[in-house]
A and B are shown apart, each in its own frame.
Chain A
Amino acid sequence: MAGIPHQIVLKRDRDLEGRGWQIWVRRGLFLLLPILALLGLLNLFGQHPTTTTKAAGAASLKLYAPPRVRSGLIYQARFHIRAQLELKQATLVLSPGWLESMTLNTVEPSPVNEASDNGRLSLDLGHIPAGSTYLLFMQFQTNPTNVGHRDASVTLKDGDQTLLQIHRTITVFP
């Protein structure tokens, strides 16, 4: 019979003395992998859209957009405005977080006018008659270097009058 192979210590390598805990550490760490996958399924890392609705006397706004996105991915925001009363000059005002390091691929239908409202993007949607709806689609792509947590609130105005505001943030994962 051959002797014990060089550098093999029976107590350590056969009887695993002092190594019993290692397998539990490994199993515990391994558990992090399915937990990560589960958190992904639960939309923790985006980018399943959620619906946020806010209503005021004159109009309601339903926003369908993901609150969490990942860098490089394309996503859509849908703004559904329902006018209870006539809106002479409906205006959507978007916080800078909507566009900070985001590529804006398209806005449909195109707004009548675009401007800056104290540093925020102001989209003039024009006239919306009472009882009718206005759907605005915006398509974005998150720039790969854009990581963090930003204000992505939306304000609906009629001219200079603020009708309602949706406070939200967008989180960008690397």
Chain B
Amino acid sequence: MDIVLRAIVLYAFVVFVMRVIGRRELSSMTPFDLVLLIVLGDAIQQGLTQDDYSVTGAILAVATIATLQVFTSYVSYRSKKARTVLEGEPIVLIDHGQIVERNLKRERMTEDEVAEEMRQQQIASLDDVDWAIIEANGAISFIKKN
């Protein structure tokens, strides 16, 4: 029983952490982020299964997490309010070629980081961008000028 409870608590905590650290931290994947991800996974695993090496324990943990993931997804699908809480909403970073400074600040982003994201999407200049929107998953969508 306790392994299911541990899985629920840890899942809720991970969802909480992912939401409060901000979307930029979610989308970037530097080598250091990759190391952190592995360390986090290891820390969670220790608390989740502890000394339980059984197949039954592993199945219970995975089944609980999978159920919670589908449940979260379903709640997000059914309720706009829940979607806002669980996933967040997009934020406009560039409006008709003009950077919206206030929104950049809110997302702890610099113009250099926006430029870096543009280059990764084969956009050389801000003059080519009509809209830039940071999506709920932390990715930045660029819409070029016609």
Contact = CB atoms under 8 A, between A and B. Distances in A.
A16 to B, nearest CB: 7
A30 B25 CA distance: 13
Interface in B88-128: 89-92, 95-96, 100, 102-103, 106
B95 A2 contact: no
Interface stretch (A6-14, A43-51, A88-96, A129-137): A6-14
Given A5-B131, A8-B92, A16-B91, A26 B20 contact: yes
Contacts of B144: 2
Interface residues of A, number: 22
Nearest to A12: B89
A23 interface: yes
Contacts, number: 60
Given A1-B96, A13-B91, A14-B103, A33 B17 contact: yes
B54 interface: no
B133 A8 contact: yes
B87 interface: no
Given A23-B106, A26-B19, A13 B133 contact: yes
Interface string B6-39: 1001000000110111100000000000000000
A167 interface: no
Interface string A56-96: 00000000000000011000000000000000000000000
B50 A72 contact: yes
A10 B144 CA distance: 18
Given A5-B131, A10-B95, A16-B106, 16 more contacts: A2-B131, A2-B144, A2-B145, A8-B92, A13-B91, A14-B103, A26-B20, A29-B20, A30-B21, A33-B17, A72-B50, A72-B51, A144-B50, A144-B52, A145-B2, A174-B2
